[in-house]
Amino acid sequence: MIGFTQIPQGGKATLFFAEVDNSQANNLTAGSLRTLIIGQKNASGDIAPNLPALLESVLWLQGRAGRGSMLALQAEFYRKRDTTGETYVLPLSDSPAGVAATGSIAVSAPPTAAGTDTLYIAGRRIQYAVAATQTTAQVAAAISGAINAAPDLPVTAAVSTSTVTLTARAKGEAGNDIQIVRNFLGTLGGENAPAGLAMTITPMSGGSGNPDLAAALANLNDDAFEFYVMPYTDTTSLNALRDHIAARWSWDKMLYGGAFSALRATLSGATTFSAARNDQHMVCVPVNGSPTPSWLISAGLAGSCAASVRVDPGLPLHGLPLDMLPPPRELRFGIGERNILLNNGMGAFVVQADGTVLTDTLVTTYRTNGQGAPDDSYLYPERLYCLAAAIRRLKNGVTSRFGRFKLASADQRPRPGSRIITTSIIRDFILGEYRRMQDDGLVQEYDRFAEALVVERNSANRCRVDGLLPIIPIDQFRQFAGLVQFRQSTGA
């Protein structure tokens, strides 16, 4: 008997009736993979704190969170690499106990010739002209004026005699990572200090008291986000996000997701940091010496990775562009140092000859299992994104096709069109979907999957079907090792 759900059996009215059933027509394999950018708004910003909001545009966010705000700058960096992905922001207010970081530029000697001087603040280029007749106080005033004339800087400037004091717009530790660099590109880049002009730069410091993430993350409810931009690297904030995402991987949530962050640290600092972390949902890339703040690098990293994962979650995440100013040559991590980082749960990047920065291998901070034994099962983020995609496809297929069906014993052979299924029918569907996922490059080793697949009725609940799904995510081509065993010519 055909499995109607609307047309009754006892009707007497004449001729043709049809009900529409879309259960066999759903070709979508997943919904939108959304991004969440976590960051602070300016105190004057009128966007509601602790509530997710759709990122309508960077310009819109500048108006709502404030120009030069941490959040607006993060969104700008993110959009450089993910221009079309559905993206939300999670605005945070400064902590009531927060303290803003400060730094200074003290002009110690006046110029003896006219010229143009260049400063980089948070990776942004600021230029100002000087005259040979200017005093140190006048140069300081010019610096302060140039900084305050750039509304998208994350600092404000105040001048007192010959010293310019910079104050971070956002209170907390993020302000400590705002770099102040003079003439970063040097002579080859057309950046030369005017003759005689000397100054002492005091790095930004003293910022403390990050916002509490708990309330903001709780307000996400069951909204799905696949990519999180994490600007903080303090233990409290990292643990809050770790627990939040881990809960989303549970059987009763099935929302999944992963986070991206960056850390300003030397090699030893990065390994010390990673030794205290063990989170399969966090990718962290250490940076040493770049004028770009780590919380902007994390946004750019997430943007590049999100754009790639949306196209194909199995594609390796190395070789993706990072929108950051490269560290000086002497501070870049070489291949030996990168291997140390990767073996300790930290990602890495490489710098091309032209200064372009690309991701090297990315790994999560997960290194050991619950018994403390070394474990590489969650090492690569691509594996987790493939696993989440495969689960979503199976869930979408089963719920779309068998959402309102009756369950019969395995020895029954339902007629085509009836709303009756058996464990054999479900098993065949799962095998077919796995084959399609393998063709799409999401999973591999169909025969091995089929051999280990178990689909059976639950012995205690006869209305429930249990399955053992031995999914094998696709791997990534990361290395080629060749033995060049050359030969000598045998020609005459």
Question: Do residue 84 and residue 115 come from a single domain?
Answer: no
Question: Do residue 78 and residue 139 come from a single domain?
Answer: no
Express each pLDDT in 159-208 by its tens digit.
Answer: 999 999 999 999 999 999 999 999 999 998 999 999 999 999 999 999 99
Q: Is residue 268 in a domain?
A: yes
Q: Is residue 269 in a domain?
A: yes
Q: Distance between CA atoms of 187 and 326, rounded to whole angstroms?
A: 16
Predicted pLDDT at 6? 76
Helix (H) or strand (E) holding 448: helix 446-452
Question: Do residue 285 and residue 412 come from a single domain?
Answer: no
**Token pair listed for 271:** 């390994």
Question: Do residue 230 and residue 310 come from a single domain?
Answer: yes
Confidence of residue 16 (pLDDT cuts 50, 70, 90): low
Question: Do residue 334 and residue 461 come from a single domain?
Answer: no
Predicted pLDDT at 310? 97
**Residue 307 in 3-state DSSP?**
helix
Strand 321-322 to strand 357-359: parallel, antiparallel, or no bridges (unpaired)? antiparallel
Question: Do residue 471 and residue 421 come from a single domain?
Answer: yes
CB 33, CB 85: distance < 8 Å: yes
Question: Do residue 341 and residue 289 come from a single domain?
Answer: yes
Lowest mean pLDDT among 301-315, 375-389, 399-413, 452-466: 399-413
Sheet holding 357-359, edge to edge: 321-322, 357-359, 349-351
Distances (CA, A) of 160 to 309, 451, 482: 50, 76, 63
Last residue of a domain, one of 205, 230, 251: 205
For 454, the domain range is: 402-492
Q: Is the pLDDT of residue 30 over 70?
A: no
Last residue of a domain, one of 330, 347, 382: 382
Q: Summarize the confidence of residues 396-408 as an average pLDDT.
A: 92
Provide the residue count of the chain: 492
We report the CATH number of the domain holding residue 190 as 2.60.40
Last residue of a domain, one of 205, 230, 248: 205
Number of domains in the chain: 3
Predicted pLDDT at 132? 96
Reference 170, options 282, 87, 49; nearest CA is 49
Q: Report the chain's mean pLDDT, rounded to a whole number.
A: 95
Question: Do residue 319 and residue 228 come from a single domain?
Answer: yes
Q: Distance between CA atoms of 285 and 262, rounded to whole angstroms?
A: 5
Q: Is residue 20 in a domain?
A: no
Helix axes 381-401, 423-439, angle to 10 degrees: 140
Name residue, tokens 């003759």. 195
Q: Distance between CA atoms of 394 and 396, rounded to whole angstroms?
A: 5
Question: Do residue 104 and residue 88 come from a single domain?
Answer: no
Predicted pLDDT at 130? 97
Distances (CA, A) of 98 to 95, 157, 212, 331: 5, 19, 11, 31
Reference 105, options 177, 162, 167, 169; nearest CA is 162
